[in-house]
């Protein structure tokens, strides 16, 4: 990166050229991305690739989430579970699980935690995208 030269400076602000500002933003984003990659690689080394990849989504699974499909349904399918089996593992009823998957009910925090535990995913993975 070339040296950043402020155009103006006050006690509270610095004015930069747009290209300098964009370069700073890009550099910050690159550092965040690199940190995420390093953390991910460290996780794979810690738990082993085969275990780590259980948390990876295929392109089709990611597309289903992108299209608004229930994360609970996508992860349940990935784990090869029926609604009845997941409901039993999460100590809830199949009908309540079906309502969560269909979006008719959001699911209580307690139930979603149990579903996440049964699916072996972080709770955040079950929150639908906005």
Token pair recorded at residue 39: 């953390």
Distance CA 67, CA 18 (A): 35
Residue 34 is assigned to a structural domain of this protein: yes
Task: With cut-offs at 50, 70 and 90, classify the pLDDT of residue 62.
Answer: very high
Q: Tell me, what CATH number does 116's domain have?
A: 1.10.260.40
Rounded to an integer, the average pLDDT of 79-101 is 96
Q: Do 45 and 66 fall into the same domain?
A: no
Residue 29 is assigned to a structural domain of this protein: yes
Q: What is the DSSP string of 22-66?
A: HHHHHHHHHHHHHHHHHHHHHHHHHH-HHHHGGGPPPHHHHHHHH
pLDDT for res 3: 87
Task: With cut-offs at 50, 70 and 90, classify the pLDDT of residue 88.
Answer: very high
What DSSP designation does 7 have? S
Q: Do 62 and 93 fall into the same domain?
A: yes
Residue-range definition of the domain harbouring residue 35: 14-50
Domain count for the chain? 2
Give the predicted TM-score (pTM) of the model.
0.70
Q: Do 62 and 109 fall into the same domain?
A: yes
Token pair recorded at residue 120: 């072996």
Rounded to an integer, the average pLDDT of 56-76 is 94
Q: Do 61 and 103 fall into the same domain?
A: yes
Q: Do 42 and 76 fall into the same domain?
A: no
Residue 1 is assigned to a structural domain of this protein: no
């Amino acid at each position: 990166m070339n040296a950043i030269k402020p155009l103006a400076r006050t006690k509270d602000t610095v004015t930069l050229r747009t290209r300098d500002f964009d370069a700073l933003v890009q550099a910050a984003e690159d550092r965040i991305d690199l940190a995420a990659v390093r953390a991910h690689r460290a996780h794979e080394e810690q738990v082993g690739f085969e275990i780590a990849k259980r948390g990876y989504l295929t392109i089709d699974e990611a597309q289903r989430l992108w299209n608004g499909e229930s994360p609970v349904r996508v992860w349940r399918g990935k784990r090869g579970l029926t609604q009845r089996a997941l409901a039993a593992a999460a100590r809830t009823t199949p009908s309540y699980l079906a309502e969560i998957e269909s979006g008719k009910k959001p699911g209580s925090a307690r139930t979603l935690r149990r579903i996440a535990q049964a699916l072996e995913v972080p709770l955040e993975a079950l929150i639908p995208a906005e």
